[in-house]
């Protein structure tokens, strides 16, 4: 058996003569299975080193790129009763086309001539304002006239007071002269009397001097009385000046009070006019709200409040309109742990409901029936479902999306990330790590590493 001697054992020949080995073929299958396993292991090892496209998968729905292009609900601006429908569901309408007509349900708006009556009230109030303005102008003219009259009257009295003061000066001078005259007359009388007593003067001369003395005394009394009368006239004129000033001040104050009262009434009238103008404008615009019109070109999707005769409230939805001209987009919701991996401009592949597709996760290049998109925006706040919304628009460099897509349809999005080996992806999934923020090697990544844009390590994981 060890092939030491020249006498060999013919095992193969002995086995051919035996019946048991001929009936049992396991030995041959054993060799084939071993070779097959080796081939499978080799293929598996080769697959482990194949490139794998990391991705994030999420469900979403079709929407529009711009908010004004999304389906919108037309609301009733005022409360009313539906009188007539001008459209049907699914009908195409243009901006400004009448959708439904309403009638009034509030009692304060039942009058068909309400706008005209309010206009008449405005005209009446405006006429009242003109009257107030004329009255104010008349009062101002009256005040100016009284001021001029007061000034003239006061000037006149002031002139009289000046004249009286001068007259008092003259009377005082006359009084002083009378005092001097009486002193002279008294001395002359005393002198003549002495001479008369000696017999040197006659009685006639004495009587003349006595008469002259009495005349001087009478002049003195007259001068004193005249001075007193003049002073009394001065006091009267000064009192008259004060009374005249007070009288005209009272008249002017009363006229100014009437003027201010008229101005207040005029301002009230102006406020009433402004309020009536606002009411008239509101009533005029309210009549335009009886007709609900299409806000833009589109299709009537659903009549939310159908029928005729139904009463709707302010702000209640009436009909839903889908804009005719819009640009499709997809909103999909990703997990919070995947948010740092998505950036505006990232590529996303979509599988739309109703369009057959074969998608190979990790090898999007050989997938069939998928459509490309680019990330436009990522919400800053989390949605009610606990995920973040990502808005994706069609990629203009790729195949356009199907024209038959409708808003609200379902879509499955696959956000393409980095390219890594298969073995690394399996290791990442088994450990529950998120996809990589940075791509594996390559010329571009090498350049980024040299520029300092990427770390030196080949892989950086998200913590």
Sequence spans of domains, the chain = 52-68+326-451, 71-104+290-323, 114-288
What's the burial of 439, exposed, middle or buried (CB within 10 Å: 0-12/13-18/19+)?
middle
Among candidate residues 186, 188, 187, 206, the one with its CA nearest the CA of residue 196: 206
CATH superfamily of 52-68+326-451: Efflux pump adaptor protein, beta barrel domain (2.40.30.170)
Strands 410-421 and 51-64, bridge-based pairing: antiparallel
- Phi then psi dihedrals of residue 403, to 5 deg: -75, -15
> Which of 131, 150, 220, 153 lies closest to 183 in space, CA to CA?
220
Q: Is the CB of residue 321 less than 8 Å from the CB of residue 72?
A: yes
Q: How far is CA 65 from the centre of its chain?
A: 26
2.40.50.100, 3.40.1260.10, 3.50.50.60, 3.40.50.720: which CATH number matches 71-104+290-323?
2.40.50.100
Q: How many C-beta neighbours within 10 Å does residue 358 have? A: 10
What whole-number distance in Å separates Cα of residue 39 and Cα of residue 113? 96
What is the per-residue pLDDT for 155?
A: 92
Confidence (pLDDT) at 407: 84
pLDDT at 364: 57
Please state, as a whole number, how many other Cβ atoms lie within 10 Å of the Cβ of residue 123: 12
Domain 114-288 in this protein, CATH class? mainly alpha
Burial class (CB in 10 A: 0-12, 13-18, 19+), 392: buried
CB 362 within 8 A of CB 55: yes
CA angle 275/279/281 to nearest 5° reads 115
Which one, of 399, 396, 412, lies nearest residue 356 by Cα? Answer: 412
> How much is the pLDDT for 441?
44
Contact 329, 392 (CB under 8 A): yes
Strand partners, 330: 62, 392
| Alpha carbon separation from 237 to 146, 159, 182, 204, 249 (Å, rounded) | 20, 10, 33, 49, 18
> Which residues are registered as beta bridge partners of 415?
56, 348
Supply the DSSP symbol for 368. Answer: B
Residue 94 DSSP symbol: -
Sheet holding 298-303, edge to edge: 72-75, 317-323, 298-303, 92-93
pLDDT at 410: 87
Distances (CA, A) of 361 to 162, 256, 345, 368: 120, 93, 21, 12
- Pairing type for strands 347-352 and 328-334 reads unpaired
- Give CA 216 to chain center in angstroms: 100
Among 116, 118, 87, 84, CA closest to 103: 84
Spatial CB neighbours of 293, under 8 Å, sequence gap ≥ 6: 95, 96, 97, 98, 99
Report the C-alpha gap between 361 and 420 in whole angstroms.
13
Report the alpha-carbon distance of residue 76 to residue 179 in Å, rounded: 109
The per-residue pLDDT for 129 is 92
* pLDDT tens across the length of the chain (463 residues): 455 555 555 555 555 555 555 555 555 556 677 788 888 888 888 877 777 677 778 888 988 888 888 888 999 988 999 999 999 988 999 998 999 999 988 888 888 888 899 999 999 999 999 999 999 999 999 999 999 999 999 999 899 889 988 988 888 888 888 888 888 888 887 887 887 777 777 778 778 878 887 888 888 888 888 888 888 988 998 898 899 999 999 999 999 999 999 999 999 999 999 999 999 998 888 888 899 999 889 999 888 888 888 888 888 999 999 888 888 899 999 888 888 888 888 888 888 887 776 555 555 555 566 888 999 999 888 888 888 999 999 988 888 888 888 888 888 888 777 677 777 777 777 776 666 644 444 444 444 444 443 344 333 333 3
To 10 degrees, what angle do helices 422-431 and 26-48 make? 90
E-state strands within 48-127: 51-64, 72-75, 80-85, 92-93, 98-103
- Considering the entire predicted model, what is its pTM? 0.55
Contacts of 299 (CB under 8 A, 6+ apart): 90, 91, 92, 93, 321, 322, 324
- Residue 451 pLDDT: 42
Query: Regarding beta strands 51-64 and 311-312, do their DSSP bridges make them parallel or antiparallel, or are they unpaired?
Result: unpaired
pLDDT of amino acid 265: 92
- Burial class (CB within 10 angstroms; exposed 0-12, middle 13-18, buried 19+) of 390: buried
């Amino acid at each position: 058996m060890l092939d030491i001697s020249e006498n060999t054992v013919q095992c193969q020949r002995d086995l051919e003569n035996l019946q048991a080995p001929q009936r049992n073929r396991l030995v041959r299958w054993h060799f084939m299975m071993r070779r097959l396993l080796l081939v499978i292991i080799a293929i598996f090892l080769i697959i482990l080193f194949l490139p794998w496209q990391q991705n994030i998968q999420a469900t979403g729905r079709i929407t529009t790129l711009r908010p004004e292009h999304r389906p919108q609900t037309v609301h009733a601006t005022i409360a009313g009763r539906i009188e007539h429908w001008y459209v049907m569901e699914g009908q195409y309408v243009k901006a400004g086309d009448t959708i439904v007509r309403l009638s009034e349900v509030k009692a304060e708006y039942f009058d068909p001539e309400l706008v005209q009556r309010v206009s008449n009230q405005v005209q009446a109030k405006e006429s009242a304002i003109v009257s107030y303005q004329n009255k104010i102008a008349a009062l101002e003219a009256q005040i100016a006239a009284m001021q001029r009259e007061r000034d003239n009257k006061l000037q006149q009295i002031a002139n009289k007071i000046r004249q009286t003061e001068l007259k008092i000066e003259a009377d005082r001078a006359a009084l002083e002269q009378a005092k001097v005259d009486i002193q002279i007359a008294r001395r002359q009388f005393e002198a003549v009397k002495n001479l008369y007593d000696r017999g040197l003067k006659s009685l006639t001369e004495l009587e003349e001097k006595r008469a002259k003395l009495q005349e001087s005394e009478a002049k003195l009394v007259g001068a004193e009385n005249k001075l007193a009368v003049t002073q009394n006239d001065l006091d009267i004129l000064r009192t008259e000046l004060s009374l005249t000033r007070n009288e005209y001040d009272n008249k002017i104050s009363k006229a100014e009070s009437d003027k201010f009262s008229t101005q207040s009434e005029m301002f009230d009238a102006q406020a009433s006019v402004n309020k009536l103008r606002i009411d008239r404008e509101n009533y005029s615009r309210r009549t335009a709200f009886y007709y609900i019109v299409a806000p833009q070109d589109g299709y009537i999707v659903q009549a939310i409040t159908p029928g005729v005769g139904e009463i709707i409230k302010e702000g209640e939805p009436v009909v839903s309109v889908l804009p005719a001209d819009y640009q499709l987009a997809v909103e999909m919701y990703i997990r919070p742990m995947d948010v740092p991996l998505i950036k505006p401009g990232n590529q996303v592949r979509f599988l739309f409901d109703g369009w057959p597709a074969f998608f190979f996760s990790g090898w999007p290049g050989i997938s069939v029936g998928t459509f490309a998109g680019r990330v436009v925006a990522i919400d800053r706040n989390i949605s009610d479902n606990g995920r973040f919304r990502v808005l994706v628009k069609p990629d203009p460099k790729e195949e356009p999306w199907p024209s038959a897509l409708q808003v609200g349809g379902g879509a499955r999005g696959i956000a393409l990330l980095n390219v890594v080996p298969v073995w690394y992806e399996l290791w990442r999934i088994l450990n529950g790590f998120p996809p990589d923020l940075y791509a594996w090697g390559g010329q571009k990544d090498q350049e980024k590493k040299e520029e300092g844009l990427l770390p030196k390590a080949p892989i950086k994981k998200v913590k």
